[in-house]
């Protein structure tokens, strides 16, 4: 079964500092990988996704992630944090079982941005 592991349930950074949120995957086949963001009292929103076209994926709000097969990782980064980035971030892997795209999510990382 495919799964993802997010290291660090809480990450705190200063405004303007680098954001690094970690995700490692386990998959028996080439995976499709996603990062979603959840703002308070809202549903999840797609930040970016990896579909094997390019290993460095750029998403919305200045976020990007790099797929590294050798490390089975898909870490999310942003060069300079902004207060509005404070949210919970979820890594997910897709399993195309049954003809669709069943998503399995990690446990989430709460990002706090401090002045």
Residues that bind another protein (CB under 8 A): 32, 34, 42-46, 49, 51, 90, 94, 96-108
Minimum CB separation of residue 68 from another protein in Å reads 18
Under the phi-then-psi rule, with left for phi > 0, alpha for psi from -120 to 50, and beta for the rest, what region is 107? alpha
25 or 81: CB nearest another protein: 25
Residue 14 burial (C-beta neighbours within 10 Å; 0-12, 13-18, 19+): exposed
Nearer to another protein, 31 or 81 (CB): 31
Q: How far is the CB of 61 from another protein (least distance, A)?
A: 16
Distance CA 35, CA 65 (A): 9
Least spacing, CB of residue 63 vs another protein, in Å: 15
């Amino acid at each position: 079964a495919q799964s993802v592991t997010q290291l660090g349930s809480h990450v705190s950074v200063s405004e303007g500092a680098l954001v690094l949120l970690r995700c490692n995957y386990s998959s028996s086949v080439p995976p499709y990988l996603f990062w979603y963001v959840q703002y308070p009292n809202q549903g999840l929103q797609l930040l970016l996704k990896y579909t094997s076209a390019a290993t460095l994926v750029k998403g919305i709000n200045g976020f990007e992630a790099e797929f590294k097969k050798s490390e089975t990782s898909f870490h999310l980064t942003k060069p300079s944090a902004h207060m509005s980035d404070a949210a919970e971030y979820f890594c997910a892997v897709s399993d195309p079982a049954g003809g669709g795209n069943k998503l399995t999510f990690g446990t989430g990382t709460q990002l706090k941005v401090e002045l």
